[in-house]
Each structure stands twice: as structure tokens, then as C-alpha cells.
A and B are shown apart, each in its own frame.
Chain A
Amino acid sequence: MSAPNASRDMLRMAGANAVLMVVAAIILLPFAWMLLTVMRSPAEIFSDPFGLPQGFGIVVENFHRAFTTVPMARFLFNGAVVVTVLLFLQLAVSIPAAYALAKFPFSGRNLLFGLVVAALCVPIQVPMLPIYIALAYAGALDSYFALIFPFLFSPFAIFMLRQQFKAFPNEIIQAARLDGFSEIQILLKLIVPSARPVIAAFAVFSITAHWNDLYWPLIVVSSQDMATPPLGMLYFRDGDLGTDYGALMAGAIVTVTPVMVIFLIAQRQFIKGLTMTGLK
């Protein structure tokens, strides 16, 4: 490559980086503002939003108000319970079903797979309506059970895992059967370990989707004790805290941080999980 060409490429690269950094700055603006605000006292937020923070005490105070004026710790605990129990149950239901769809010729298999694919096209808010009515009549609203129940069937998990399991060699399964492995043992000791990356991708997808979900908690939760973090954010907005921006931003930070940490740890699985769904 000749010298003028190289310098032109350098220039182009610098230009591209400059554009990308400007876009990144705009995209990251809310995160920056959240951090700036939580470091300020209510007075400073309005008088001097971009000045240097006046010490760590104000940060502590803002977080303290976020945790004391609403039961923030309770929201976080509820969110953790819901996403953990739900993920465990979704996998417990989906893994055997995906294995059956991939490797067992049973009557109705094609129908079942067709329904799983069809279910992928159904927005979950539609079946939620009768499920809500049923839960209301059963007196089961406003509970962990209600928060988890509608998502126990995950067509996405079954579909993803079935594609993965199909590629598992039949010969190994046959050999394991001859060695006296039960079907459950084959599933847990051979098939599941081979699908670990897909399971991880689904796990981060499921955790993110349900930690962040607002629609269903907003419908079934009526007491603060059962609220998840996104719903908790709405209590901030509604209460006297609506104008206490320091505490509001502290609440936002503790709400978004857990999923963000998972994202930074498991970026690859995360991106795979979110992009494979076409989201939600």
C-alpha cells in the first residue's frame, strides 16, 4: 500500500472513531446522568449539576433514602426469588421436553413441535388475560406463584434446546443405554452438559427478561411486599420521592446493576440469547 493511501486510511479511521464516540456519548448519556445525580444533594442537582461531587457522604445519603423510604431491599429480594425459581422451573420443564422432541418418536410429536413454534408467535400478554382471571378466582394474585406461573411454559427454551439436542450423536445415546444408563441419567450426564452454552444463553435471556419485566408484576402485584424492582421504581415516581432525584437515581442504579453485572460477566451468551429471540 502506498504512503498517501495509508495516511488516508488513518484519517478515515480517526473520523470513524470520532463519530462512534459521539454516538456512544449520546447513548450513554442517561447512565452518566444517573451517576452524576446520585453524587449530588437535592440543592446541587439544580444549582450545579456538572460540578465536582462534594464528597462521599451525599452518595451514601441518597442510597440510604432509596432503601428506607421504600422497601428497596425487599424489591431486590423479590426480583431475585422470581428470576431464580422461574429459571430453574423453566429449565426443568423445557429440557426433558426438548430431549423428547429431538430424540423420541412419540405420537403427536409433530403436533407438539408445531404448537411450540406457533407459541413463539403469540405475545404473552394475550394468554395472560385468562390466567389473571383464573388466579383472581383462585385467590392467588399478589404472590410469588402468580409472578412465576404464566412463564413456566417457555416455547423459546424448548425450541432453542431442541435444535441443540438434535445434533447430539445417536450412537452415544445407544451406547449409554446398552451400558445401563436410564433416560434421566443420559439426559443429565450426557445431553445437558453438551448443551451448556445454549443453556447459559437462555439463562441470561430469561433472567434479564423477567428481572426487567413490568407488565405482569404491574397486573398481579397489589402490595409493596410482593413488588419486583421495576414496579418499585414506579412507587418512587408515585410517592413523595417523585422529586427526590438523588434517591430516585440511587434506586435506578440498584435496579439496573444486577443485570448489568451479569451482562458484563457473560457478554457472549447474553448477546447470543437476546439476538436469537428477536427479543421477548
Chain B
Amino acid sequence: MSGTSVLPRARRRPAANRAAVHGLLLAGPAILFLSLLMVAPIFVVFGLSFTDYSLGAIQFSFIGLGNYLQIASDARALGAIGHTLVYVAIVVPIAVLLGLFLALMIQQRRRLRHTYEVLFFLPATSTFVAMALVWQFLLHGRIGPINDWLVWIGLGRIDFLTNPATALPTLAVIGAWQLVGQTTILFLAGLSSVSSDIYDAAALDGMEAGWDRFIRITFPMLGPTTLFVVVTTTITAFQAFDGVAALTQGGPAGSTETLLYKIYLEAYQYTNMGYASALSILFLAFIAALSMFQIFVAEKKVHYS
């Protein structure tokens, strides 16, 4: 800073001290809430995960790795992890591939580009619980119009949300529906950073717009964007909760119990805080690993504005 260097030496230290005090004062409230709402709670969760603490209990004891061993033998907890992975494995490919496809289609539109952006983004803005209930009506086994259409085209009725075989994939498709607008927008931002000079050069070499150009130029240039979109979509999908809470409450037959829903049940319905803490630490480990990957690997290479 050139401003401070012109001050005489004797006055520089008080100025530096004052800056330090001002800095701490300005950051004070944030430091307080960071400690109170983030740092301390994470230590508490970590500590509780080694206890059998139950909300309201007068006393509790340390049980070492007991909760973690219980997870390993709890079929419902393992099921919840499995359901979450299946959910992610359905949501991410749909949201990413459809988003990429839509971005490529929209990119070449001039007049309608903005209209499409707004239309595809509407699901991301709307309250998921409310729209999930609309989906439930649409997909209803007896009175939903989608089943009427299935019958009309000669297929049988599907009890989308009440059949254990289809409930989780159905929730995942609804989840993907909400995320498509976001992936589309991110891919559009990535596409706008692919220089048109490259396309011009390719055209000179006789490469036309189309599949060939997409595979050999566009997609490699989009690599960093794709990585970013995949990771952020995975993180969001991993936290699946609203659809489960609104439509299935984990059922039918526990087939849609996700990890976050299981944590919700253990902590706030059964008050098993110790066990819920161990599940939370597991949940944190998954998300934090993905987030760090994003910040330190993916983010560095992404060009979006």
C-alpha cells in the first residue's frame, strides 16, 4: 500500500495496530457466530458421536466407536447410504446430460435464448415441497393424468410413489427435474467461454458444426465445466431430503430412506443424538470430500462468469 509508506517510521506502528484493531472489530460478529454456529457445533457433534447421549437424558456415557460399529451392522443405516448413492446415480446423469444437451441447443438460439433460460430455470426457483406435491398428484396411481396417458398409449398403470421398486427412482427424476435449469445455465456459461476462433479454425480445416465438432472440440473444452457441474450436482443430490419428507417419509417399506432423512429420524424423531451424530459425521465426510475436491481441483480450472 503506497499510502502508508509515506508516513514517518514512528507513526507506522500505531497505524498498523489501529488497522489490526479495526479489522478485528469489523470481523468480530462473524468470528463470534462462526465459533458459535459452526466450529463449536462440529466439535460437539464429533464428541457426541462417541456417546450414547439421548436428548433429555440426565446422564450418558462414552461408548467409544460403538455408534460407528452400530452403523456397520444397522441394515437401515446401510440401506439409507445405498439409497442415497442410487439417488445420486440417477439424478446426476440426468441433470448433467440433459443440462448439457439443452445448453448446446439453446446456445445457438438468438431471440429465444433468454426465454428458454427463464423457462428451464423455473423449477429451481420454486419451493420444492410445493412442486413435489404437484408431482405426486400428476403421478398418482389412480387419479394422476400421467397414468391415464400411460394407459392411453397401451401401457399399464404404475404406482410410481407407492411401489418400493419405483419410488426411489421417481423421487430422483423429480429431483433431477429441479436441477436441470441450474446445470443448463452452468453449461451455457461454460460454452460462452469456448472461443469462436477455435470453431473458425476448425471450419477452415473442413470440420463442420455437428457431432464431430462437439466430440473433438466443444466437449474437451467443456471438461472443467463438466467436472464442476458433476460435483455440485452430486453434492446437492447427496442432501436429498425435501422430496422424501413431503412424498414418501422414507417408505414404502423403507425404500426411499436417504442418509439425511435417516439422520433426521434418529436425531429429531427418536432423539438418539449420539447415533445421529455418528451418522452426521459420515454425512459430513462425504460432502466435505466432494466440496474440497471442487474447491481445490475443479474450481481452479473452471471458467464461468
Cβ A112 vs Cβ B27 within 8 A: yes
Cβ A122 vs Cβ B26 within 8 A: no
The complex places the Cα of A92 from the Cα of B26 at a distance, in Å, of 10
Cβ B263 vs Cβ A252 within 8 A: no
Given A104-B22, A106-B27, A125-B283: 10 more A-B contacts, CB < 8 Å: A30-B134, A96-B30, A100-B24, A122-B284, A155-B34, A230-B127, A233-B129, A233-B133, A267-B117, A278-B228
**A50 CB to closest chain B CB, in angstroms?**
8
Residues in A neighbouring B98, C-beta threshold 8 A: 23
**B267 CB to closest chain A CB, in angstroms?**
6
Cβ B239 vs Cβ A129 within 8 A: no
Known: A120-B295, A237-B133, A275-B189. A93 touches B117 (CB 8 A): no
Residues in A neighbouring B186, C-beta threshold 8 A: 275
Known: A20-B106, A212-B127, A251-B130. A104 touches B26 (CB 8 A): yes
Cβ A174 vs Cβ B3 within 8 A: yes
Tell me whether A123 is interfacial, beta carbon within 8 Å.
Answer: yes
**A200 CB to closest chain B CB, in angstroms?**
15
* Range class of the A interface residue count: 35 or more
Tell me whether A171 is interfacial, beta carbon within 8 Å.
Answer: yes
What total of A-B pairs shows CB separation below 8 Å? 276
The complex places the Cα of A130 from the Cα of B3 at a distance, in Å, of 46
Tell me whether A150 is interfacial, beta carbon within 8 Å.
Answer: yes
**A148 CB to closest chain B CB, in angstroms?**
11
Cβ B102 vs Cβ A93 within 8 A: no
Tell me whether B41 is interfacial, beta carbon within 8 Å.
Answer: yes
Point out the residue from A16, A27, A119, A174 that lies within 8 Å of B105, measured CB to CB.
A16
Point out the residue from A230, A245, A263, A274 that lies within 8 Å of B182, measured CB to CB.
A274
- Chain A residues in contact with chain B, CB under 8 A? 13, 16-17, 19-20, 23-24, 27-31, 33-34, 37, 45-46, 49, 92-94, 96-97, 99-101, 104-109, 112, 115-117, 119-123, 125-133, 136, 149-150, 152-153, 155, 158, 170-171, 174, 183, 187, 208, 211-212, 214-215, 218-219, 229-230, 233-234, 236-237, 245, 248-249, 251-252, 255-256, 259-260, 263-264, 267, 270-271, 274-275, 278-280
Cβ B102 vs Cβ A230 within 8 A: no
